[in-house]
Chains A and B, each alone.
Chain A
Amino acid sequence: MDISIFTRAMLAGTALLVAVAPTSAAEPGRLLASQCAQCHGTNGAGPGFEEIAGKDLFNDLLDMKYRPIEGIMDRQARGYTDEQLRLIADYLSTLPGNGDD
């Protein structure tokens, strides 16, 4: 058996599969952060309330979570563990946004 031909065929097959197969899902924080999009726009970039893409909002989210409830975000922030808020903030900070408030 000509192993190098087999190797090339295998790798060519793999390359084809990579082109066809879907993208992997595993981006930490992406799924959790998508739950912000109903009010802040897809990928945090509006339309909606304050733009949340491209900013590190971890301290703001913690502040909302632990201060007395006034607005709807104080309620929403309580819906996540501190670790989840960290993942959300880290992921959102990597997104481009539009530079809007």
Chain B
Amino acid sequence: MKNTLNRRQFLKLASAMAALAAVPRAVGAATTAPRVVVVGGGFGGATLAKYVRMWGGNVQVTLVDANPNHVSCILSNLVVTGALPMSRITLAFDSLKANHGVTVMQGRAVAIDAAGNTLTVSTTSGNKVLPYDHLVLSPGIDFVPAAGNWNPNLTPHAWQAGAQTTLLKNQLAAMRSNDTFVMTVPKAPYRCPPGPYERACVVADYLKRKGRTGAKVIVLDANASITAEPEAFGHAFNVTHAGVIQYVPNATVLSVDSSTRSIVTSAKTVNNAKVLNYIPNQRAGAITAGLPLNSTGFVPVNPLTYGIAGYPNIHVIGDSCAVPSSDGKPVPKSGHMANSEAKICADAIIRSFTGEAPDKDIATSSACFSPITNKTSSWLSTNFIYGDIFDASGNVKGKGMHRVDAGEAEADMIDGDSYQDMFIWADSMFADSYS
């Protein structure tokens, strides 16, 4: 056996040592694969879990969700009207397990130990402590209810799909002629900007189709005007559903009484509505409580990694995060956007395992179709590119996701083709996130 290295052996050894040096300690020290723990099995969390497994090779991914499956808010307004069954929007985690090797744990994430890198999950068989190398939070929204006596089991928000959707569907089905359906639009930012206006449209359409003469839909909007697809929904409110929908802007909710289905706002008070669909203002999901929050209750993130300042291996994606963006051009909170952000976060996490810097050549997008009647739909599309972001005067204020403006973001017509396209889009989104 020779004791000397030739040049080739030396280079091989040197490159092997360099490879070792490049592996971060979390991986180099571990004898097992790095661990990614994901909280929340909505579109963000499911996509994150799938893509880390698909792109990352040998990474352990555990997805934590309180429910045995995810009920999609996308298409859920059509379950409220009875156009679709609940099964159509119920998405199982089975394919994430079978096709991608994701471990799914049913339970509620209750505590993060950021110093110890563990997440505590409350399950039916007691608390479980999950160690992680990276923790990704995709918990969706929590509600910030107004004063008064709010009980969502009496007056459903149906802004988290499932039992709430069924409750609102049953209440709508019980409406008769001359009854009033009162709903609120939360103060922005909130989940799914076009969603409340879409709901008003399909509820009005339902009441007309069922012959509920004189029945009304009163829309109490906390914002100054329609926040998404103003052309499409303006036309729908003023023409398509004229005489049924009454739109009230600048209606800040002051108090709610679920037992009498009454609501007081700064613009209008309604007592004893037949249905009160109060959708409260929103903030980041409860598990983010100990993390830095912005003034509207969401978690500011780095758009390259969805990481949080001061917490190098905790990430927040989807509705709970606040992405730096140009003034007046916020990144919308939507299932599509959560899916989009999840891929960037997944890629950044995988790069960190191999010592690579996050990709800066990134883009995100959100597209959706909004039914106006039971046969027609509009669409909305927004795109964001990483780079300079601007204040209201057009001055550069930093780096973030800048919305690319090119013509109208919304469809220039409401038609039946878009209604059919809506199902192609939803099925593709469901499969990309859950299969």
Contacts and interface: CB of A to CB of B under 8 A. Distances in A.
For chain A, which range describes its interface: under 10, 10 to 19, 20 to 34, or 35 or more residues? 35 or more
B24 to A, nearest CB: 10
Interface in A17-54: 17, 19-26, 30-32, 34-35, 37-42, 46-49
A25 B54 CA distance: 11
A100 B5 CA distance: 55
- Say whether chain A's binding surface is mostly helix, strand, loop, or mixed: helix
Interface in B300-321: none
Interface stretch (A55-63, A71-79, A90-98): A71-79
Nearest to B367: A72
A2 B55 CA distance: 40
B20 A38 contact: no
B174 interface: no
A72 B379 contact: yes
Contacts of A3: 3-5
Interface string B343-372: 110010011011010010111110100000
Nearest to B16: A14
Contacts of A2: 1, 3
Contacts of B16: 10-11, 13-14
Contacts of A39: 367, 424-425, 428-429
Interface residues of B, number: 66
Contact of B350 (A10, A22, A41): A22
23 contacts: A3-B4, A3-B5, A4-B3, A5-B1, A11-B16, A14-B20, A20-B27, A22-B34, A22-B59, A23-B350, A24-B354, A35-B343, A35-B363, A38-B340, A38-B365, A40-B428, A49-B425, A69-B412, A75-B406, A75-B409, A76-B365, A80-B363, A81-B385
Contacts of B23: 17, 21
Contacts of A80: 363, 383, 385
B428 A49 contact: yes
Given A3-B3, A21-B354, A72 B381 contact: yes
A17 to B, nearest CB: 6
Contacts of B211: none
Given A31-B344, A35-B343, A79-B384, 13 more contacts: A19-B58, A23-B350, A26-B351, A30-B55, A35-B364, A38-B428, A39-B424, A41-B428, A46-B428, A48-B424, A78-B383, A80-B385, A84-B363
B173 interface: no
Interface of B: 1-5, 9, 12-13, 16-17, 19-20, 23, 27-28, 30-34, 51, 54-59, 336, 339-340, 343-344, 347, 350-351, 353-354, 356, 359, 361-365, 367, 379, 381, 383-385, 404, 406-409, 411-412, 421, 424-425, 427-429, 431-432, 435
Nearest to B409: A75
A38 B353 CA distance: 26
B381 A76 contact: yes
A10 B13 CA distance: 7
A26 B356 contact: yes
A23 B363 CA distance: 23
A49 B57 CA distance: 29
Given A14-B16, A79-B404, A34 B343 contact: yes
Contact of A47 (B34, B350, B364, B431): B431
A41 B426 CA distance: 11
Which of A20, A32, A49 has the most chain B CB within a 10 Å cutoff? A20
Contacts of B20: 10, 13-14, 17
Central interface residue in B4, B381, B427, by most chain A CB within 10 Å? B381
